[in-house]
Chains A and B, each alone.
Chain A
């Protein structure tokens, strides 16, 4: 069964600095998608960024980028120029085909002013 592991329960960063959140996953498939979701205190699940496994180029969305290492089954999220509004729980997730989303345990990110 596919699993997703986030080894950092909590992270903190100074405002305007860069932080990287880690995620590893386990799968025997070659074609799948990986996601980072943000969950602020409002509880909404907000899609931050998506990576297709067959694309070698790392996805970017404004200040958010990923480091996708397919052979190592690693999918980290880098947030540049951190802002107070980035404070939230961040979840890494995996999906293969039309299967279920598998979520990691989450990383709570705190932004220090």
Chain B
């Protein structure tokens, strides 16, 4: 019963490098989300998806890209890493996106850009 799995758990990048944060869920949830959490702050939505092939921007999408080719996977790509992207990244999923079926969160990826 894995739930939402994020890899890697930790990563250090140099400025200008690119990488993909992986997220997969085994609950057949339609909705998936990417959040970032800066130190001492709450989570802010980067991108979300309501189903395979459909993605949309959240509150802080600049510098990121996503794709959703399958129900299970929702990778987040950083193309040109910048120090401002140092954060903890959370992936989440939900069956319907509604509050009566709360989001399930992964354990997060701590990303440092140096």
Does A43 contact B42, Cβ atoms closer than 8 Å? no
Interface size class of B (residues with CB under 8 A): 20 to 34
Could you say which residues of chain B place their CB within 8 Å of the CB of A101? 33, 43, 45, 103
Does B29 sit at the interface, judged by CB under 8 A? no
**Considering residues B42, B88, B99, B107, which has the most beta carbons from chain A within 10 angstroms of its beta carbon?**
B99
Could you say which residues of chain B place their CB within 8 Å of the CB of A9? 40
Which residues of B come within 8 Å of A, CB atoms?
Answer: 31, 33, 40-45, 48, 50, 58-59, 88, 90, 92, 96-100, 102-103, 105, 107-108, 110
Bound Cα distance A93, B44 (Å): 11
Does A103 contact B43, Cβ atoms closer than 8 Å? yes
Does A64 sit at the interface, judged by CB under 8 A? no
Q: Can you show 17 pairs from A to B with CB atoms below 8 A apart?
A: A32-B99, A42-B107, A43-B88, A45-B43, A45-B90, A93-B42, A96-B99, A97-B98, A98-B50, A100-B45, A100-B58, A101-B33, A101-B103, A103-B43, A103-B44, A104-B42, A105-B41
Which residues of A come within 8 Å of B, CB atoms?
Answer: 4, 9, 32-33, 35, 42-45, 47, 50, 52, 91, 93, 95-101, 103-106
Knowing A45-B90, A91-B43, A103-B42 touch, does A98 contact B96 (C-beta < 8 A)? Answer: yes
| From A43, A91, A99, contact of B107 by CB (8 A) | A43
Does A100 contact B33, Cβ atoms closer than 8 Å? yes
Would you give the shortest CB distance from A89 to chain B, in whole angstroms?
9
